[in-house]
Amino acid sequence: MNIFGKKLSVKKEIISLLEAMKKVEKDSNEYTAMAKNLETLCSASEKGSKNRISLWGPLIAGGFSLVGILMVIYGEETRIITSKALGFIPKGRV
């Protein structure tokens, strides 16, 4: 199951738990256990939304690096830039 499927199933579990909590007396031990489960499910739902990785930043940076490399290669072929052209290319970061 993918990340999005898990997130939807956690939300469904939260909704069903809230519906079940409506039917239980608020001062019982069962209600307290349900409230703890609800807290765990809510924290799991929040963690899932924080773990998303954005791919646009690295893709754009990589694209600009490729454009810079191509410009340097073209410039060296046409003899516009004759030395130390590789200093203009940004170094990758880990």
What b/e sequence results for 59-91 when a residue is b if at least 16 CB atoms lie within 10 Å of its CB, and e otherwise? eeeeeeeeeeeeebeeeeeeeebeeebeeeeee
Kindly tell me if the per-residue pLDDT of 81 is higher than 70: no
Position 1 scores a pLDDT of: 43
Q: What is the mean pLDDT of the chain?
A: 76
Ramachandran region, residue 81 (left: φ > 0; alpha: ψ -120 to 50; beta: rest):
beta
Position 47 scores a pLDDT of: 67
Averaged pLDDT for residues 70-86: 69
